[in-house]
Structure 1
Amino acid sequence: MNRAAFSRLPVTVDLPLLLQALAAIGEDEWRGHFNSAFYAGDWSGVALISAADALTELSPGLGQPLLRAPWQRDGRWQQGLCELPLEIVSARLLRLGPGGQIHEHRDYDLGEPDADLRLHIPLLSPVHVDFFLDGQRMPMAAGECWFLDLSRPHRVDNRDCSARVHLVLDCRPGAWLQQAIIEGLATTPAPPVAEGALLQFQRLVAGDLQLSQALQGLTDSEVFIARTLALAAERGLVFSREELRAAMRNGRRQWNEQWNA
């Protein structure tokens, strides 16, 4: 079955109620994400529901879903989601702090035929947070509910001065949810097409022989990245090291895929 890369579900959640529940979470309850090699800065979470056999409460598992303490003591979580008839197997609050980055990666397990479907509900969604899926910036707003196929390449940059917090639900692919994903496609906002700083710099390089030659001779990837960032900054174009790395990986992937078509 070919599933959409993303869809904003035509549903509502009680955002004010969920924000009240979020405010009741103590700072000491947040735990660093288990994929420590995949991020820089603060990427932490609080498990609301997770597998009974998970190594940590934030980790995946195969056991029965277990209601964790924050969910059990605060009925506002369940009440805020009462309009969504979902079979939830995992519910986590995931926070990306100011300046934090989640490096590009793929959650391959979500691409299996009978895999759970992952929903993102932004609770705190600062304007300068960029969530890229397959190279497209997802225009998610607080209180919305999005299905995202995260078996595809994705990354997040928080360039804001405040934290981003999403409620992330892993759900069984029931009939209601799959239909909601299909119905949501018609009203899902298109990713913005504004040309970013990296693309602007790529266009400059393509049209400037001297600039192109300054980079072509660099065979060490770290030297290439440092020089690219410096040359771009000299021209008033600022993008992150991870954004450049993602573009380089995507270029290699497209080069390889052309021979497998």
Structure 2
Amino acid sequence: MPELLLPRCARLDLAIDLPAVLAALQRVASDAWQPHFNSGYHHGDWSGVALVAAEDAIVPLAPGQGAALRLAWWQAEAAWQALLAPFASSLRAARLLRLGAGARIHEHRDPDLGRPGGCLRLHIPLLSPAGVEFLVDGLQVPMRPGECWFIDLSRPHRVDNPGPGERIHLVLDCLPDPWLASLIEKGRAQTPGLCLGRAGQAFEQFRQQVAQDPLLAARLQAHQQPQAFVAEAISLGAALGLAFSEAEVLSAMRRGKQAWSDQWRA
């Protein structure tokens, strides 16, 4: 098949029986949840339960190169069977991933995803408090429970769950077969526009204030090193009641605002 040009994200046209899946989720044993193996990537509870895993995975939530094995614990659950059936030919991994209230996944990339011969990652939100932010390139992906989304996670991304309540997604890694490629291409045109997250909006307000205030501009201009520049921007923003982090500043630069930072450091 020709190389698939990946969008940042795409909402796929798939019907999901969310009430049946939520009922099945309630029957997952509490002691089945395991801490995520990427312990340095998050703060708070990030844990999961594998449904399908590579036979050579060191732990069930970790990737592997071996054959995809369907674990035994869910085989009698019709809801999981129906949900995974459309992906039978391409599915390499499936796991429930839980992000607890007050937890966050720090910004990172998954460079193995989307490369030639690599898998594509799909997210199916099952439980998601209204305040959850899933940001890719600093932009909020507006996923809702019961939807299925492709997301290009080779790009910088991070997740924040302020609560209340836990966020649980079913996350699938699939080979890019023609059926899935067609779904992504169709979904690209039907996907709603993305917007800045809360902290990104705060940074945009700060950027506008800097453009109008020579004193703020001079404070930033005094810092020639990027790390010092970012730290000063965060400090000045906080003094103005605008809370954002290093990730927002760097994401803004990646979205084409490098000229803005260069202007005040020139």
TM-score, reference length from structure 2: 0.84
Correspondence for 2:262:
none
Unmatched runs of 5 consecutive residues or more in structure 1: 256-261
Residue 36 (structure 2) aligned to one of 16, 28, 33: 33
CA deviation after TM superposition for structure 1 residue 55, in Å = 0.5
How much does 1:7 deviate? 1.0
Q: Secondary structure at the match of 1:110?
A: coil
Q: CA deviation at 1:59?
A: 0.3
TM superposition shift of 1:20: 1.1
1:146 aligned residue: 149
The amino acid that maps onto 2:30 is E
Residue equivalent to 2:48: 45
User: Does 1:123 find its partner at 2:130?
Assistant: no
The superposition leaves residues 20-49 of structure 1 with CA deviations (integer Å, 9 ceiling, x where unpaired) of 111112332211111112112221111111
For the pair 1:206 / 2:227, whether they are aligned, the reply is: no
The one-letter amino acid of 1:208's match is D
- Tell me which residue corresponds to 1:233: 238
Identity, % of aligned positions: 48
- Equivalent residue letter for 2:182: Q
C-alpha distance after superposition, 1:135-175 (max 9, x if no partner): 32111111100111111121112223221111000112112
* 8 Å Cα contact 1:14/1:81 also seen in 2: no
Q: Distance in 1 between matches of 2:251 and 2:102?
A: 18
Q: Which residue of 2 aligns with 1:196?
A: 201
Secondary structure of the residue aligned to 1:113 is coil
Matched, 1:23 2:26: yes
Query: In the alignment, is residue 172 of structure 1 matched against residue 175 of structure 2?
Result: yes
| Structure 2 Cα separation of the partners of residues 113 and 93 of structure 1 | 26
Distance across 1 between alignment mates of 2:97 and 2:229: 33
What is the letter of the counterpart of residue 121 of structure 2? R
1:121 and 1:67 map into 2 onto residues whose CA distance is: 18
Structure 1 residue 242 displacement after superposition: 4.3
Q: Report the Cα distance in structure 1 between the residues aligned to 2:224 and 2:48, rounded to whole angstroms.
A: 39
Deviations 1:41-82 (A, max 9, x none): 221111111001001000000111112243235332112344
Q: Give 1:62-211 correspondences, 5 Å limit.
A: 62-82=65-85, 87-192=90-195, 196-211=201-216
Distance 2:53 2:257 in 1: 34
Q: CA separation in 1, counterparts of 2:33 and 2:16?
A: 23
- Amino acid aligned to 2:32: E
Q: 1:41 to 1:246 in 2, by over 3 A?
A: farther
Q: 1:90 and 1:226, CA in 2 relative to 1: closer, same or farther beyond 3 A?
A: same
Q: Quick one: structure 1 residues 165 and 148, their matched pair in 2 at CA, closer, same or farther if it must change by over 3 Å?
A: same
Unaligned ranges ≥5, structure 2 = 260-266
Instruction: Determine whether 1:12 maps to 2:19.
Output: no
Distance apart, 1:186 and its partner CA: 2.2
Q: 1:48·1:67 contact (CA, 8 Å) conserved in 2?
A: yes
Code of the aligned partner of 2:41: F
SS at match of 1:104: strand
Asked if the contact 1:124/1:142 (under 8 Å) is kept, the reply is: yes
Matched with 1:258 is none
Aligned positions, number:
254
Alpha-carbon distance change, 252 to 159 in structure 1, aligned in 2, over 3 angstroms:
same
Counterpart Cα distance in 2 of 1:13 and 1:83: 11
Q: Which residue does 1:259 correspond to in 2? A: none
- The verdict on how the C-alpha distance between 1:20 and 1:220 changes in structure 2, with shifts beyond 3 A counting, is farther
